[in-house]
Chain A
Amino acid sequence: QSVLTQPPSASGTPGQRVTISCSGSSSTMGRNTVNWYRQLSGTAPKVLIYRNDQRSSGVPDRFSGSKSGTSASLAISGLQSEDEAYYYCAAWDDSLNGWVFGGGTKLTVL
């Protein structure tokens, strides 16, 4: 069971907007920022969003992140087939004194 909670799956059709949620606690998201990683099949994860809402270099503005209280979300607009991947949220956990991940969300483009 992951410290951060994500839905196991999400889906959308091309052009649609989808959101993926990430729920934490006061020890994770209370004072710390949330980062989002995308993992294409068979490859290493890459950072998409860091510090809640900052897009990593080269990431299109179709991707946006937000955080409110102990929850965060990743929004993808104008969904494309190449967006099919696993998406993970992560944050520092003050109780663990280390980083924790969400269980990952598999995004399917129908």
Chain B
Amino acid sequence: QVQLQESGPGLVKPSETLSLTCTVSGDSISNYYWIWIRQPPGKGLEWIGYVYFSGGTNYNPSLKSRVSISVDKSKNQFSLELTSVTAADTAVYFCARSGSTSSLLGYNWFDPWGQGTLVTVSS
């Protein structure tokens, strides 16, 4: 059974870069879409972006200028970088996998999810 685990610093200073890694176990990173989602404290969910196992990416337009997602198949990991962070980027960050290998993203979903990691932006 595939499992995902986020890792990275829990505290980032304003204007710096937030970097997180998601380690995939129980299966290889292949044929699926690998996704980042975040949830500010007490608020709803926001899709950040995804990377396909071959390296193709797509980002939320609201974050596109600051975000980068990459995949490292040799380590079975994918990563998130978010630059120039502010307090508004404080959130629990989740990694997830697409539920299906289908390239018809309108018919896809998120399953499974990692447990999430809280990142606080503060000096």
Binding site for B on A (CB under 8 A): 2, 31-33, 35, 37, 43-47, 50-51, 56, 88, 90-92, 94, 96-104
User: Do A32 and B44 touch across chains, with their CB atoms under 8 A apart?
Assistant: no
Q: Tell me the B77-123 residues at the A interface (CB within 8 Å).
A: 94, 99, 105-116
Q: State which size class the interface on B falls in.
A: 20 to 34
A46 to B60, CA, bound (A): 21
* Interface positions of B (Cβ within 8 A of A): 35, 44-47, 49, 58-61, 94, 99, 105-116
B58–A98 CB distance below 8 A: yes
Interface centre among A43, A88, A99, by most chain B C-beta atoms within 10 angstroms, is A99
Contacting pair A43 B46 (CB below 8 A): no
Contact A51 B107 (CB under 8 A): yes
Number of A-B residue pairs having CB atoms within 8 Å of each other in the complex = 68
Docked complex Cα distance between A32 and B104 (Å): 9
B44 is contacted by which of A50, A97, A99, A103 (Cβ under 8 Å)?
A: A103
In angstroms, Cα B43 to Cα A2, docked, is: 11
Query: CB distance A98 to B60 under 8 Å?
Result: yes
Do A50 and B111 touch across chains, with their CB atoms under 8 A apart? yes
Q: How many angstroms between the C-alpha atoms of A37 and B45 in the bound complex?
A: 11
15 more A-B residue pairs beyond the given contacts A44-B113, A45-B113, A90-B47, with a C-beta to C-beta distance below 8 A: A44-B94, A44-B116, A46-B111, A47-B109, A47-B111, A50-B99, A88-B45, A96-B61, A97-B58, A98-B61, A99-B35, A99-B47, A100-B47, A102-B44, A104-B45
